[in-house]
Structure 1
Amino acid sequence: MITRSSALLQRPDSPSVDVTPLTLPSAWQTQLSRAIRDPRELCRRLGLDDAWLAGAERGHALFGIRVPEAFLARMRHDDPSDPLLRQVLPLAAEGESVPGYVTDPLAEAEHTPGPGLIHKYNGRVLLIASPACAVNCRYCFRRHFPYADNSPSRAQWERSLETLRNDPSIHEAILSGGDPLAASDRQLAWLVERLEAIPHLKRLRIHTRLPVVIPDRVDDALLGWLGATRLQKVVVLHINHAQEIDDAVFNACARLKQAGVTLLNQSVLLRGVNDSVEALAELSERLFEAGILPYYLHVLDPVTGAAHFDVPDEEARELVAGLREVLPGFLLPRLVREIPGEASKRPL
């Protein structure tokens, strides 16, 4: 976090006064605030035909668009089939009612012992650390999540921390959102300091897309609190296509690894984005070059508004069978589906 010293806030001829330093937004926060939020602007910047605009505006009305400049820069101009654009471009199809698609596909509301706390699996709990995201992915299974009822605050976190303190079976705290790294480093440092004071906690896991879409998020302030914690640190990145990993992402990942972070990736199998053996193999290779291990390949969660991304299970299995023929085992992500109420993700 950049601060302006009190000396810079005084006139040269003024007597010494007690001035509280102003906290200025860091580079990543500035980029986040300047993300594209207008479908017309997105279409204009990428040179898309006007025919795409009407559908984009209809989809945007259902789930707002947000695309950071750093992510936009990796998209191909005048190419509506670009795999990065496909993940963020709203479509009219999002308004269609499709049987089996619901607003809470993982039934998370049934596993919420308190606001901002989700406890589905043995030994670990998930805390909503921020309702905000740096990029609004059109396939997001939480696109309808009631963030207004689960907006994090210190008072809410204190209640969640008390739940963790009283349950010695919990060994891992998972920060999620939204995107947990959309919270300020000051907030996150406060939370992690209290998590590591719980003696039976062993691991801190962070699920995030921010180091990918705004690599500048991995700055000295973040690495300060993350590197200092006694907890074992795991960052699970969300990357769906090799094109997402540029030099800035490489550098961000290198800095995380230097801080003692284990880097994993989970992808979603998406029609028109990564639904080929070639795309998935290239993704695994690129991930490993960046020091990230492929972890999960999720089939699409059936969330309302995302049916056009669906890849049938049998086709998904065939793709993974093809991957086995071209990749070593350690680069092969596990194909899984999350089933509400089950004790773990189900392998396919």
Structure 2
Amino acid sequence: MIPAAPLALQPSPPPTLQPPRWQQQWRDAVRDPRALLALLGLDTQAAGISHAAAAQFPLRVPQAFVARMRRGDLHDPLLRQVLPLDDEMRPVPGFGLDAVGDGAAKTADGVIQKYRGRALLIGTGSCAVHCRYCFRRHFPYAEETAARDGWRDAVAAIAADPGIDEVLLSGGDPLSLATGKLAELTDALAAIGHIKRLRIHSRLPIVLPERVDAPLLAWLRSLPWSVAFVVHANHANEFDTAVDDAMRALREAGAQLLNQAVLLRGVNDSVDALAALSERSFAAGVLPYYLHQLDRVAGVAHFEVDDARARALHTELATRLSGYLVPRLVREIPGDTGKRPL
């Protein structure tokens, strides 16, 4: 009997590498104001959208965040945060390009040092969502990000100042960087012995919770410092079960979670809205931290709440909630040694 010839094995095709889900969702973000309104069943003519404002500061909003907006409601508090309106194009005295003095506080490319012991590192200009009230909407990211030279100048500037014991990762949004890039940065920072804490400011866990994936959590667990993670949520409706899961995962990875909100007219300028935000964020394991008065950057005046009303809202909020649920009402003043309480 002649033995059968062995079957020739065909080489398997190389596996197709799929991008992380959050990066695919990033690419699928809504970028056209008319498309956003159509998704929500809204009339584009009645909305007062500004194509000039969208050209100056483009719309970008993840589908996951759009899904939390109320259909048919032009005044939805989440929609108001991202929709470019005619109001943005009206010049208002007192509103400029650098409302918080970032330029004067620059110590190296992408490094801003305003307060004693702290250095803020701008790793990228990219964000998953373009919030219309953004105080860095006019920031020259092309010239001023720390990643331009592989972090060398930024890390050297921080290493040269032994008084810096806390580094803040900001942007843009630092979590828009791939986790490998974040690890490159923190590996370099880990060689600096005088750093004690890392603070991460990010809106991605709120607007794109799938960013909190296994590689990111492994990176967080590997960090040699205490980590404060400041999420940016302005309304209770920004939280859903996916966000809750992301917050839980961040806590379990060892991060202390804080929320920093901005007081915005038409979004959260009522005691009911502010109380609901504090209660909902705390239910997700996030401690209310700051309630910021609006930074007066050009194009955002229609969001401003005057100081007298802001104080009245904050005072009433303190009568309604336990003390640990009441964020500090503050404003950033260029040249001050810290955030100024109101």
* TM-score (norm: length of structure 2): 0.95
8 Å contact 1:31–1:68 — kept in the other structure?
yes
Equivalenced residues, count:
335
SS of corresponding position for 1:205: strand
Which residue is 1:244 aligned to? 238
1:259 match: 253
1:13 aligns with 2:10: yes
- Map of 2:157 onto structure 1: 163
1:310 and 2:304 are equivalent in the alignment:
yes
For each residue in 1:239-287, what CA deviation from the matched residue of structure 2 results, as whole angstroms up to 9, or x when unmatched? 0000000000000000000011000000000000000000000100001
Distance in 1 (CA, whole Å) between partners of 2:93 and 2:272 is: 31
List per-residue Cα deviations over 1:164-199 (Å, max 9, x = no partner).
111110000100000000000000011111212211
Q: How does 1:5-84 map to 2 (within 5 A)?
A: 13-14=10-11, 23-52=17-46, 55-84=49-78
Structure 1 residue aligned with 2:193, among 199, 219, 236?
199
Change (3 A) 1:154 1:59: closer
Cα shift readout 1:32-79 (whole Å, capped 9, x = no counterpart)? 011001111111111111224662323212210001000000000010
Q: 1:165 to 1:151 in 2, by over 3 A?
A: closer
Shift of 1:22: 6.7
One-letter amino acid of the structure 2 residue matched with residue 131 of structure 1? G
Q: Shift of the alpha carbon at 1:102?
A: 0.2
Distance between the aligned counterparts of 1:74 and 1:161, measured in 2?
39
How far apart are residue 158 of structure 1 and its match? 1.2
Q: Does residue 1:332 correspond to 2:326, yes or no? A: yes
Over the matched positions of the two proteins, sequence identity in percent amounts to 53
Name 1:4's counterpart in structure 2: none
Q: Is the 8 A contact 1:128 1:180 kept in 2?
A: yes
Q: Is the 8 A contact 1:96 1:305 kept in 2?
A: yes
- Counterpart CA distance in 1 for 2:320 and 2:67 is 30
Match of 1:148 in 2: 142
Question: Please, which of 278, 281, 287 is the counterpart of residue 281 of structure 2?
Answer: 287
The CA distance in 2 between the partners of 1:68 and 1:170, in whole Å, is 35
Task: State the SS of the aligned residue for 2:107.
Answer: coil
Paired residue type of 1:217: R
How far apart, CA to CA, are the structure 2 residues paired with 1:331 and 1:98?
34
Give, in whole Å, the separation in 1 of the partners of 2:196 and 2:224: 8
- Aligned twin of 1:342: 336
Residue 154 of structure 1, CA deviation:
6.2
Which amino acid letter does the alignment assign opposite residue 211 of structure 1? P
In 1: Cα distance, 2:76 partner to 2:255 partner? 31
Rounded to whole Å, the distance in 1 between the matches of 2:146 and 2:27 is: 20
Q: Please report how far the alpha carbon of residue 128 of structure 1 lies from its aligned counterpart in structure 2 after TM superposition.
A: 0.8
Report 1:171-210 matches (<5 A): 171-210=165-204
Equivalents in 1 of 2:335, 2:295: separation in Å?
14
Q: Is 1:94 equivalent to 2:88 in the alignment?
A: yes
Contact 1:130–1:181 at 8 Å: present in 2 too?
no
> What TM-score comes out, normalization by structure 1 length?
0.93
* Per-residue deviation, 1:151: 3.4
Moved over 3 A (4+): 21-24
CA contact (8 A) 1:297 1:336 kept: yes
Task: Tell me the SS of whatever aligns to 1:153.
Answer: helix
Is 1:222 matched up with 2:230? no
